[in-house]
Amino acid sequence: MSLNPLGAWELPEELRMLQENVARFMKTDVKRVDDQLPHDAISAPKHLLEPLQAKAKEMGLWSLKSPQEYGGAGLSTLAVCVVTEEAAKCRMGAYVPACGAFGADPPVVIFNGTRDQIERYAIPAIKHAHRTFFAVSEPSGGSDPARAIRTRAEKRGDRYILNGSKFWISHAEGAEWGIVFARTGALGDRGGISCFIVDKTMKGITTKVIPVIRALAPYEVTFTDVEVPAENMLGEEGKGFSVANALLVAQRMPYAAGTIGIAQAALEIAIDWAKNRETFGSRLADKQAIQWMIADSEMELRAARLLTYAAAWKADLGHDAKIDASIAKVMATETAGRVLDRCIQILGGMGVTHEMPLERWYRELRIKRIGEGPSEVHRMVVARHLLGAGPRKPKADA
């Protein structure tokens, strides 16, 4: 990010070009596929998806977050945010950006693993767009996962025996493998958690869908005496939560950007509708109530976007962006929800039909305020940062 001659923040030229290329790809290629899919589709059929993926590879946009040396695009956090915002402007939204055209990234913590782990798991996942999952949350408490983890891994010889359940796990069904966090130390101890690569071919793994308001449902994953080879431990024993925490912070900026993309697309639909719809002898666009809804939406989206891009920029500079990511996540998801609600109101009854993507996006955005940490937890994180030094003592009179 930099200042242009007019003093406004703007993206570097290479990221503006990337933004334009992705926007063009969405309009000319992805939209043709998107228009052929059912309202609540969660994937595109192979014959429609493969040409999109081939084009994405030509553009150098395959597995956005994965390092180039392993077959990914190797984009910076800010670049991923730019692409994610544009790619969310399809019916499947930010959960399946660009209808799946950009492949899939394995959980990026895998790249902290051994060379053998990367070759056996990460590289095939990138090459073949394999589904993977990331399992931290449990039924006992999703907002404070480290202290709530009860899934245990007990060392027996050259392997660990895994028992327990994980909740709210996306893409668990049909996944090739996943990253699972289990307790190897005392209950309630953040230092007693270890990280494992769990292959879905291992015996004792079952999945059960958890129906939710959006089309793409998460799963409960149960592990019953699952034997995990010791070489599948990622990192050191007892230090798994530091791995999880770093990933969770890094995910929040693109997560926020995706919600902004959805809301921006909805606003564009609402503006076009307001310009062309007449009621009571005049266009909707001429009515002050509609004008203010549109103006408020644009102002709030600009603010949320700048916060998100600034957080990503800070992370790319190597600085601690934990607080910035929390702020961006709350502002973007809550702003997007408000904007979507206004857009549906502008369209009236048409806004909640399956002819438009708005009601599907509305359901998705409601979940976005909970996923990656609910708004209340992020507010708590920000407040603790500001108040962490404790109450200030009043200065003595001179």
Contact criterion met (CB below 8 Å) for 70 and 110: no
Catalytic residue among 85, 86, 364, 372, which? 372
- Catalytic status, residue 359: no
Tokens of 352: 């909640």
The secondary structure of the chain, three-state, reads: CEECCCCCEECCHHHHHHHHHHHHHHHHHHHHHHCCCCCCCCCCCHHHHHHHHHHHHHCCCCCCCCCHHHCCCCCCHHHHHHHHHHHCCCCCCCCCHHHHCCCCCCCHHHHHCCHHHHHHHHHHHHHHCCCEEEECCCCCCCCCHHHHCCCEEEEECCEEEEEEEEEEECCCCCCCEEEEEEECCCCCCHHHEEEEEEECCCCCEEEEECCCCCCCCCEEEEEEEEEEEHHHECCCCCEHHHHHHHHHHHHHHHHHHHHHHHHHHHHHHHHHHHHHCEECCEEHHHCHHHHHHHHHHHHHHHHHHHHHHHHHHHHHCCCCCHHHHHHHHHHHHHHHHHHHHHHHHHHHHHHHCCCCCHHHHHHHHHHHCCCCCCHHHHHHHHHHHHHCCCCCCCCCCC
What is the sign of the dihedral through the CA atoms of 324, 328, 330 and 331? positive
Q: Which amino acid is at 304?
A: A
Rg (CA), the chain: 22
Tokens of 394: 């009043």
Instruction: Report the catalytic residues.
Output: 372
